[in-house]
Amino acid sequence: MLTAEHLLTLQSVANPVLSPSETEAVFTRTLIDKEDNKYYSHLFHLHIESGEITQWTFGKERISSPKWSPDGTKIAFLSNRDEKKQLYILHSRGGEAKKVTDLANGVSSFLWSPCGEKIWLTASVKQGKAVTDKAEKEENKFPQAYVVNGMKYKMDGLGGAGLRAQDQFTQIAVLTIADEKLEQFTTGDFHHGLAGISRDGNEIVMSVNRAENLDYEFRTPLYIVDTKTKEEKVLVEAEGYYGDVSYSYDNRYIAYVGSDTSYKNATHNNVYVYDRRTGLTQQLTEMLNAPVGDLAVADVQQGVDAPGVVWTETNALYFQLSTMGDVRLYYADLEGSIFPASPEGEHIYSYDVARSGNWAIAAISNPVFPGELFFLDITSGERRQLTNFNEEFMREVPLSVPEPIVYQTTIGDVHGWIMKPISYEKGKKYPLIVEVHGGPHTMYANTFFHEMQLLASQGYGVLYVNPRGSHGYSQEFVDGVRGDYGGGDYEDIMAGVDYALKTYDWIDESRLGVTGGSYGGFMTNWIVGHTNRFKAAVTQRSISNWISFSGVSDIGYYFNDWQHLVDIKSVDKLWDFSPLKYAENVETPLLILHSEKDFRCPIEQAEQLYITLKSLGKEVGFVRFPDNDHNLSRTGTPNLRIERLSQIIGWFNKYI
């Protein structure tokens, strides 16, 4: 039977990268070391024709961003084996990996120059210092004051107090491999991103926003930069976020992925193609009405870094598309043809495509399959499984098969899934747990979800749906939640409960539970303040008070405006949206789970809710998780992820 501890045995296979000869590939495999209580990822080699797999690195480290040299003789990657992420180069025919950088703040990203003799990289550099400067020895060990400068002064996921290094800026540099000489390319107190490089190496595409005040700047301008003269030409300067740049093989076209701000952070990502000859830009995916990229929420895949687009030699390209609960591989050409290149019912979370466009290597998951690498013959639709890291788990652990459901609400069709308990017997009644995803602009998908399977293994049915606000069903659908939190989205979820009760006679209507995290935590709080239908609830990394959220969250000061369409001056409106306002109505036993270092939904949101409910004499519990951020359920400290699952199961077992 599946347990919480199985999370520690599942292995995440991702990031396949084809060699220039296309006869071999490298990829990463991430697992959890139980004794060290840490994640380690290693580099593996795949011989495509024979299927032979060889592990190339073994250390206690996390490897990321593997990239072949243009001649296929070397692989460069980032590793934290010496604490900071540094750049390493490994010969493809054997030997030890060589560390080729020793930068004070490590390496953020890199790209091979097409000549194979240089590597472009980005690194964080202290104001007034150069990339080549060594780390300074800290002589003063006393705590130092942090003088806040600007409104974007903290960010979830940074660790520590979540404070941004305001005196550090990301610069681009060039490393000459032969002598390991590093030369800084950019200057100025701005954050520079390395978005792409031309096939001849004469241009890079750089992202940089040089506005003096970035508080209300929500854009990433892209510039084409001559690598010799440093002359810049604007590629895109519109409002919005753009990146994942890739040059076509003939060097004529530049593809990139991004979105404008028409619907703020609910806007679909699209693929754009710039013609360097005519200077015109084409929005290639305009007619799809679905977001480019992987918007699926899951809890197994680790360290995934999928390309935004991959060109073929015929000037067609491939990309991921999140649509109807799937993440599929899509094909498009410059004449307007566009169609899916992979089937429904699965989650393609990593991939690389051969130059011909006829085949690909992809990492694929589905609701009863954690994920492995496959060879995909795109022309015939045939596939061959290449890795079997989770074979033992698949062989030994029974799983529940989610059943897709569709039901009607005021916005139209709403899509979701329902799972029977693993121990299901016809004629018996079972409790049902409703799961609500975060975002709200993500989506539940046809992917493996350990938490859902755990609930099913404990004798619970599970209902999870994509209410309005979820990605994958149209721009109108994802925008439908903005300005209406607790309105149509609440209706969609409760209509799903009604549909399940009407359709499945095995559900015990008197034994319902609900849980969710982030936006799903907000919705859990909202639900228990507006209905007593649930016997128990668990709210995670939640929001209870949008007024205080505005000042304490790393995104709070603009998120209210984007999502509720009002700012902090509209206190009455924000209070109407706040679950805390309805605390007196709560009769459902509620467990509050929250990470101490969550700066996206800070723990004061949980504290307010707990103290309020406790003072009202409500049945409430509170569990705090130290040294973890907003992503506890996905990438948090392994033992605390297990504890979190145990707390959820324990609460439901106690009250349901």
> Is 630 an active-site residue?
yes
First to last CA, the chain: 21
- Do β-strands 310-311 and 316-323 pair in parallel, antiparallel, or remain unpaired? antiparallel
Choice among 518, 542, 548, 553 that is catalytic: 518
DSSP string over 370-394: EEEEEEEETTT--EEE---TTHHHH
Neighbours of 498 (CB within 10 A): 12
The H or E element that residue 652 is part of is helix 638-655
Neighbours of 426 (CB within 10 A): 6
Which residues make Cβ contacts (< 8 Å) with residue 384, sequence separation at least 6?
51, 374, 375
Q: Give yes or no for a contact between 399 and 422, defined as CB atoms under 8 angstroms apart.
A: yes
Choice among 6, 42, 471, 630 that is catalytic: 630
> Is 441 an active-site residue?
no
The H or E element that residue 109 is part of is strand 109-112
CA distance 492 to 94: 56
Q: What are phi and psi of 488, to 5 degrees?
A: -65, -35
Closest CA to 592 of 614, 609, 575: 609
CA distance 641 to 432: 22
Q: Which residues pair with 445 in a beta bridge?
A: none
Q: Give yes or no for a contact between 282 and 313, defined as CB atoms under 8 angstroms apart.
A: no
DSSP string over 456-522: HHTT-EEEEEE-TT-SSS-HHHHHTTTT-TTTHHHHHHHHHHHHHHHH-TTEEEEEEEEEEETHHHH
CA distance 629 to 312: 40
Which residues make Cβ contacts (< 8 Å) with residue 131, sequence separation at least 6?
103, 123, 125, 171, 173, 182, 184
Instruction: Write out the catalytic residue numbers.
Output: 518, 630
